[in-house]
């Protein structure tokens, strides 16, 4: 059971890192050259899906870590 949790935690961690890296940053390279005036507060489409998936993966990662401690 421990090896399954180890593998699951590793896979979740890799997916979470990918999800974090895929999220767009509001202060990208365009704002460094003066073109960063397009600020919006809502997430839409794929960006929202990646954002929610990253939160779900973080919760699963935390739950798998607690499960490893309990077992």
- Burial state string for 8-46 with b = 16 or more CB within 10 A and e = fewer than 16: bbeebeebbeebeeeeeeeeeeeeeeeeeeeeeeeeeee
pLDDT tens for each residue of 57-69: 999 999 999 999 9
The pTM assigned to this predicted structure is: 0.75
Six token digits for residue 51: 């954002």
**Which has more pLDDT, 34 or 59?**
59
Domain ranges within the chain, ordered by starting residue: 1-22+44-71
Check whether 8 has a pLDDT greater than 80: yes
Would you say residue 54 has pLDDT above 90? yes
Distance CA 15, CA 35 (A): 31
**Continuous segment of H or E residues that includes residue 36:** none
63, 55 contact by CB (below 8 A): no
Whether residue 46 is predicted with pLDDT greater than 80 in this model: the reply is yes
């Amino acid at each position: 059971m421990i090896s399954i949790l180890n593998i699951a935690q590793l896979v979740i961690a890799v997916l979470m890192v990918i999800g974090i890296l895929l999220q767009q940053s509001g202060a990208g390279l365009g704002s460094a050259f003066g073109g960063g005036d397009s600020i919006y507060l809502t997430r839409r489409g794929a960006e929202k899906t990646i954002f929610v998936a990253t939160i779900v993966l973080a919760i699963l990662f935390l739950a798998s870590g607690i499960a490893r401690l309990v077992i």
